Structure 1
Amino acid sequence: MSDEVIVVDLGLQLAVVTAFIVLMVVVHSAGLVAISKVLHLHDDRAIPNEFGLRASFLMGTYGLLLFTLHFFEIYLFALFYRHVGALRSMEAALYYSASCYATLGSAPAHFDEEWRLLGSLEALIGFVLIGWSTAFMVGTLRKIIN
């Protein structure tokens, strides 16, 4: 990698953001469908109708699978940051991506400023996807209490 600064066009950044929005909607949709199938959430008989050990196990497993889905999405952003050279290590890329995704907003000292727009908009994407997961989980909880 040379020492010259490469200016990334705003249009390219917006195109990449758009591609990530589409990718994340597809990944998150597929993930939620997979979680539903694994936990048999489409079958009302598989969902307990009271809070107890079975409901606790279902919701705990649900939470772990959602966490895994969100981590995978964070990982996809981190892979991109490493691929374009915005960060020097995968650990730094994961830290930055998780920070953005969770709307913490802690930028590392050596982040390539050419891609900071994507990092900022990753926060919006993460916020929406976390909200989507929350709504999905609340729907399942409603089935348990009804």
Structure 2
Amino acid sequence: MVLSLLIGSIIIIISVVVQAYGNVRWLKKIAPSFKKKQTFTSSKLPLRLLTFSFLFFTLLHTFQTWLWALAYMLIPETKLLFTSFFEAWYFSLVTFTSLGYGDLTLADNWRILSGIEAINGIMLIGWSTAMMYSLIQQIYKSLNTN
């Protein structure tokens, strides 16, 4: 169990760094649009901003679930459960999003790892949701000043 906690902690640290780096890149790309209290005269820019942002955060979370899937494939005891990387990724996606179908479960001494991934996923998805909310709020304010 100690090894599960150690591996889970390492993956969480990597995931948080990926999320933080991604958010900084996102802020450098998106934030300049609001620096001068820009007002939108058409819906094209807000639509592009929202679409790009959604796809960007989805890509971040996809990469994070790949990290977890890779970890599952590298652990000898959990590797036996999965027939391919895509099955490990499926398990990771279901766990990261807290769906937890239960069709695949880790061995007793590794189960805590899936719980750690679920906590990680909830927090990171919440972080992205907060960023999207912030963008929507800025767009809403800008559209209502016209």
Match of 1:16 among 7, 14, 27: 7
Structure possessing the higher relative contact order (Cα contacts under 8 Å, 6 or more residues apart) = 2
Percent identical across equivalent pairs? 29
Q: Aligned with 2:31: secondary structure?
A: coil
Match of 2:94 among 68, 81, 99: 99
Displacement of 1:16 in angstroms is: 1.5
1:4 matched residue in structure 2: none
1:27 matched residue in structure 2: 18
Q: Tell me, yes or no, if the aligned pair for 2:73 and 2:85 is still in contact at 8 Å.
A: yes
Q: Tell me, yes or no, if the aligned pair for 2:4 and 2:110 is still in contact at 8 Å.
A: yes
Q: Aligned with 1:49: secondary structure?
A: coil
CA distance in structure 2 between the partners assigned to 1:70 and 1:125 by the alignment: 11
Change (3 A) 1:110 1:70: closer
Displacement of 1:116 in angstroms is: 1.8
1:75 matched residue in structure 2: 66
Partner amino acid for 2:30?
H
Question: What's the TM-score, normalizing by structure 1?
Answer: 0.82
Partner amino acid for 1:145?
Y
Q: Counting helix residues as a fraction of each chain, which structure ranks higher?
A: 2
1:44 matched residue in structure 2: 34
Match of 2:121 among 117, 121, 126: 126
Q: Tell me, yes or no, if the aligned pair for 2:65 and 2:96 is still in contact at 8 Å.
A: yes
Question: What's the TM-score, normalizing by structure 2?
Answer: 0.82
Q: Which runs of no fewer than 5 residues in structure 2 stay unpaired? A: 142-146
Deviates more, 1:117-126 or 1:94-103: 117-126
Report the count of equivalent residues.
136
2:44 matched residue in structure 1: 53
